[in-house]
Amino acid sequence: MAEDIRFDGRVAVITGAGNGLGRDYALEIARRGGAVLVNDLGGSGAGVGASRNAADAVVDEIRAAGGKAAANHDSVATRAGGEAIVAAAVEAFGKVDIVISNAGFLRNARFEDIDDDKLDALIDVHLKGAFYVAQPAYRIMRRNGYGRFVFTGSASAMFGHAWQANYAAAKGGLMGLSHIVAIEGSAYGITSNLLMPTAQSRLMAEMDDGFMEIPDFARSVQEADYSAVQDRLLPAFNTPLALYLASERCRTTHGIFSANGGRYAQVLIQATQGWISPAGPEAPSVEDVAGHFDRICDATTLHRPMTVYDEFNAVAAAARERDAAAVPAA
């Protein structure tokens, strides 16, 4: 049997930890010996209002079970708030080893109806909020030579969900943020991964089925088979993967992972082999691209670049192969 994964001596900052996924993460890390800074502004699933009750209740529950926790009620949506959250963890426990960026909410609407209130609020909390907490925590982790970031992404950004352009834009930004933190952090013992969780939570109350007006998307919704996973769409089914990614045992970084109904998977961003245009200084025409579009989209052979320069190397290899094929046999 595998050795238990523990968090003894580790300090975790978890945003949005007063309810749902964040609460479950906090309780389990504390149960496994970690100290937890439970951050929650206490707003609704639409990001309205504030209350100290949610974070305080989770802290009380952890302490009652013999664990270590402190509450924080600052908003992630400002740089000052992010710094205050990290400072609270340092004041309570002396350091920060883990950040699980989980705070968020929904304000769904048709793409053409999303105003600045619906856009800015989600960008501020999901994307900028994750940045504002991660940056001061990263500085501490770099000095200490150890750190774990788990950013909360979404299938809405990776695969698409109607009426969530604002939410998907924010979550898509987190993919890029996590990749760069992973690359830069690799020199300092810091890993960063993105988790796409799936759970029934209070955010579901903010869902509006107006998106059923879109025929193709409505068909996808209607054909979705929940029968095998309905009782597995609970926060607890996401926690094992979230905590593994946050653990010392996990050395994987620069990854995107999905937890969905008890199925755990890595999600990959890859490029097709594509079409390399003829050698020479002349750019191909639009018609050339159109004529080779099937080859451009052919997913038979895939390449997974881990940096911008990995893609350049793949292109260079294809160009060398093209040029070698053009040389007449002796």
| pLDDT tens for each residue of 13-68 | 999 999 999 999 999 999 999 999 999 988 655 555 567 899 999 999 999 999 99
CA atoms within 13 A on the CB side of 97: 18
Q: What are phi and psi of 258, to 5 degrees?
A: -115, 135
pLDDT of 217 reads 85
Pair type for strands 271-272 and 302-303: antiparallel
Q: Give the β-pairing of 263-267 and 255-260.
A: antiparallel
307's CB contacts (< 8 A; 6+ apart) are 183
- Backbone φ and ψ for 148, nearest 5 degrees, come out as -135, 125
Nearest Cα residue to 21 out of 65, 54, 56: 54
Structure tokens at 172: 């898509």
Q: In the β-sheet with 263-267, what is the strand arrangement from edge to edge?
A: 68-72, 35-39, 11-15, 98-101, 147-152, 190-196, 255-260, 263-267
Comparison of pLDDT for 212 and 206, the residue scoring more: 212
If we measure between CA atoms, which residue out of 169, 236, 168 comes closest to residue 200?
236
Q: Give me the pLDDT at residue 50, please.
A: 63
Q: With a cut of 80, say whether residue 312 has pLDDT above it.
A: yes
Q: Which of 132, 138, 167, 244 is catalytic?
A: 167
If residue 209 lies in a helix (H) or strand (E), which one and from where to where?
A: none
Predicted pLDDT at 203: 54
d(CA 318, CA 314): 6
Cα–Cα dist 328/231, whole Å: 64
Catalytic residue status for 167: yes
Query: Angle at Cα 18 formed by Cα 169 and Cα 261, nearest 5°?
Result: 60
Residue type, 324: A
Residue 183 carries which side chain, given as an amino acid letter? I
Q: What is the pLDDT averaged over residues 68-89?
A: 98
* CA distance linking residue 72 with residue 36, whole number of Å: 10
The string over 173-204, giving b where at least 16 C-beta atoms fall within 10 Å of a residue's C-beta and e elsewhere, is bbbebbbebbeebeeeebbbbbbbbbbebebe
Output the pLDDT for position 200.
Answer: 79
Of 29, 22, 129, 19, the closest CA to residue 69 belongs to 29
Q: What pLDDT is stored for residue 222 in this prediction?
A: 87
pLDDT band with cut points at 50, 70 and 90 for residue 131: very high
- Provide the pLDDT for residue 326: 79
Query: Could you tell me which residues come within 8 angstroms of residue 265 by beta carbon, excluding any fewer than 6 positions away?
Result: 257, 258
pLDDT mean across residues, the chain = 93
Global pTM value: 0.92
Question: Tokens 């095998």 belong to which residue?
Answer: 228
- Can you give the residue ranges of every domain in the chain? 11-267, 271-326
Q: Is the pLDDT of residue 210 over 90?
A: no
Give the pLDDT of residue 219: 87
Model confidence over 213-256: pLDDT tens digits? 888 888 888 888 888 888 898 999 999 999 999 999 999 999 99
CA distances from 216 to 112, 163, 208, 219, 223 (A): 18, 14, 17, 5, 11
Of 51, 137, 125, the residue nearest 93 (C-alpha)? 137
Please give the CATH architecture assigned to the domain spanning 11-267. 3-Layer(aba) Sandwich (3.40)
Alpha carbon distance 245, 235 (integer Å): 16
Which positions ≥6 away from 46 have C-beta within 8 Å? 105, 106, 107, 206
Distance CA 127, CA 101 (A): 10
202 pLDDT above the threshold of 70: no
